[in-house]
Amino acid sequence: ILPNGTVAMLYTGIDRPGTNYQIQNIAFPKDPSDPLLREWVKPGYNPIAVPDAGINATQFRDPTTAWHAGDGLWRMLVGGLKPGTLRGMAILYRSRDFKHWVRAKHPLHSALTGMWECPDFFPVREPGKTDGLDTSEFGPRYKYVLKNSLDLTRYDYYTVGTYNNRTERYVPDNPTGDVYQRLQYDYGNFYASKTFYDPAKNRRVLLGWANESDSVAHDNAKGWAGIHAIPRKIWLDPSGKQLLQWPVEELDQLRGKAVSVGDKVVKPGQHFEVTGLQSYQVSTT
């Protein structure tokens, strides 16, 4: 959402069918009063970013939420791969009007990990504080998180570090965190995630995709492939070295009737069945 209240969506498109030539575009709601924003309009000045020299045109996608750092410039990242190498890149673009975007001289960050899909970049509050920050919140006391979905492994990895908007560099606190000591959001089927700042509850929410392992034939038979994972609130842990996460509080509203058991002594190793439960998940106290 731009400062004047305009809603804008950045997305990847295919410019040359059959070649997978990827470009970045922008769209605006046809009816801004529609609470579901069901129809979108593509302006004639698209695309706003194309894969020029030094970018693999078939590995250039997934723009981040744009942010500004108090200097009049908007910034966004696009995931990429340096041609002929395994160097994944968070390619940086800047704009003064959110319409004309110019590629920076160097990526915000890169590493020899393979293609970086679905990059995400956001500030976090001081260690142990659970409140979230708007993506454009800027200050020297804040750490930043850079997350990438690795096409080679199909997992989401992140690092915690510092961001300098003058040099346009992001530096992980752990120099080996990009390759050897990776932090993951999840160790199960969880990919292509994105975080969002929720100003109503002052929190950052993580939403990911559970990419199942069924065959293409099974997916076609089902009519769907993969599901959204449970939304999670995330924040920086007290050590400042990694993120903590917890299912959003709204999930508590889905809990059913409680089942109570009293005056029951359970001996070590004894199995005790609790009857009357009809759900897939149970919390015990």
- Tell me if the domain spanning 9-254 has CATH number 2.115.10.20: yes
Contact predicate 248/254, CB 8 Å: no
What confidence tens digit (pLDDT) does each residue in 235-279 have? 999 999 999 999 999 998 888 778 888 888 888 998 888 887 877
The Cα–Cα gap between 159 and 146 comes to: 6
pLDDT of residue 231: 98
The Cα–Cα gap between 250 and 267 comes to: 36
Residue 77 has pLDDT above 80, yes or no: yes
Q: What is the pTM of this model?
A: 0.90
User: Mean pLDDT throughout 141-166?
Assistant: 95
User: Mean pLDDT throughout 205-219?
Assistant: 92
CA dihedral defined by 97, 204, 147, 118, rounded to 10 degrees? -60
pLDDT of residue 177: 84
Q: Which of 142, 98, 104 is nearest to 121 (CA)?
A: 142
pLDDT of residue 17: 81
Tokens of 126: 């001081």
pLDDT of residue 200: 96
Share of the chain above pLDDT 90, in %: 76
Contact predicate 143/250, CB 8 Å: no
The Cα–Cα gap between 229 and 209 comes to: 6
The Cα–Cα gap between 141 and 278 comes to: 48
Entry field: residues in the chain: 285
Q: What is the DSSP string of the chain?
A: --TTS---EEEEEEEETTTTEEEEEEEEES-TT-TT---EE--TT--SB---TTS-TTSEE-----EE-SSS-EEEEEEEE-TTS-EEEEEEEEESSSSS-EE-SS-SEEEESS-EEEEEEEEE-STT------TT---TT-EEEEEEEETTTTEEEEEEEEEETTTTEEEESSTTTTTTS-EES-SSS-EEEEEEEETTTTEEEEEEEE-----HHHHHHHT---EEPPPEEEEE-TTSSSEEEEE-GGGGGG--------S----TT---PPPS--SS-----
Contact predicate 22/61, CB 8 Å: yes
What confidence tens digit (pLDDT) does each residue in 16-39 have? 888 899 999 999 999 999 999 999
